[in-house]
Amino acid sequence: MKWQAATRKSFQKREAEDAYVVNERAGVFGVFDGVTPMDDYKDDEGHNGAFIASNLFREHFARLSGPCDAAAELVEANRRLRERMHSSQLDMTQRHLLWSTCAVVAVVHNNKASYAHVGDCMIIALDNRGNTTVLTKDYVDGVLARAEAKRTLDRKQGVFVPEEAYFQEQAHQQAYQRWMANTPEGYAVANGMEEMGQYIQIGTVETAELQSLLLISDGMVYPEGRHEEVIHKVLEIGLEAYMLEMEDWERSHRVRPDDKTAILLSF
């Protein structure tokens, strides 16, 4: 097996909120996409909650000395994130302020690649027959509609929820959605909540059947684009060229850019 990895900070951000890990001795590969916080907290080094969360996960998986249960290690890293927030005296009752990260981790061992995933970091497989499969579910996809449906249902059941005009303001909309994290109506994300463990997606593929696996943060996907398209374009022009090409497109179309991170495994 061979691997390539690349990351690029959004040209509109002060620091990257993505992180990745390549731990060859453990056969562990992971991409982590910190969720931009809704507060102004900075640690002593000037890092925000998104940077802290994604890099805490990176450090956790980098320290592993051998193959692991990816889901169990996501739970452990999430516990450490909870402890870090507590030690920083973050008010953890305010769910919209929790530091959080999306994550996808693959463990390659004994001719298998097992994976675990929360959020909208994704893993895409290209098999030996040329078929492309998105192995993970984008938990964040459709959350706007699910949030609106939940508000409508709550109002019908007598729960006070502000009218929809209130949620036209982006900050109010984002705060509401983040309260839905790790709930049946919401989306899975690593934010220190113990409930995250209930929503981890896991799976295993035989490496003998694969040409490639691609782990990506959501910044690697064009608006309205398809995840399947990404792996073919990356294999055609390479990771860094793909990222630069996408940045040029974002600038020319005045699309808000995101950090871009990917790991390509070739078998």
Note the pTM of the prediction, 2 decimals: 0.96
* Of residues 261, 208, 64, the one with CA closest to residue 72: 64
* Of residues 219, 202, 194, the one with CA closest to residue 107: 202
- Give 101-143 pLDDT, tens digit per residue: 999 999 999 999 999 999 999 999 999 999 999 999 999 999 9
Q: Do 12 and 43 fall within a single domain?
A: yes
Q: Do 203 and 152 fall within a single domain?
A: no
Cβ-contact 107, 115 below 8 angstroms: yes
**Rounded CA separation 220/243 (Å):** 7
DSSP 257: P
Please give the residue range of the domain that contains residue 149.
141-186
**Rounded CA separation 15/180 (Å):** 27
Question: Can you point out the beta strands (E) in the chain?
Answer: 2-8, 18-23, 28-34, 101-109, 112-118, 122-127, 132-134, 201-206, 210-216, 260-266
Beta bridge partners of 115: 106, 203
What CATH number is associated with residue 83?
3.60.40.10
Mean pLDDT rounded to a whole number for the chain: 96
Q: Do 258 and 168 fall within a single domain?
A: no
- Give 161-207 pLDDT, tens digit per residue: 999 999 999 999 999 999 999 999 999 999 999 999 999 999 999 99
Domain count across the chain: 2
Q: Do 59 and 164 fall within a single domain?
A: no
**Rounded CA separation 56/17 (Å):** 11
Q: Do 125 and 20 fall within a single domain?
A: yes
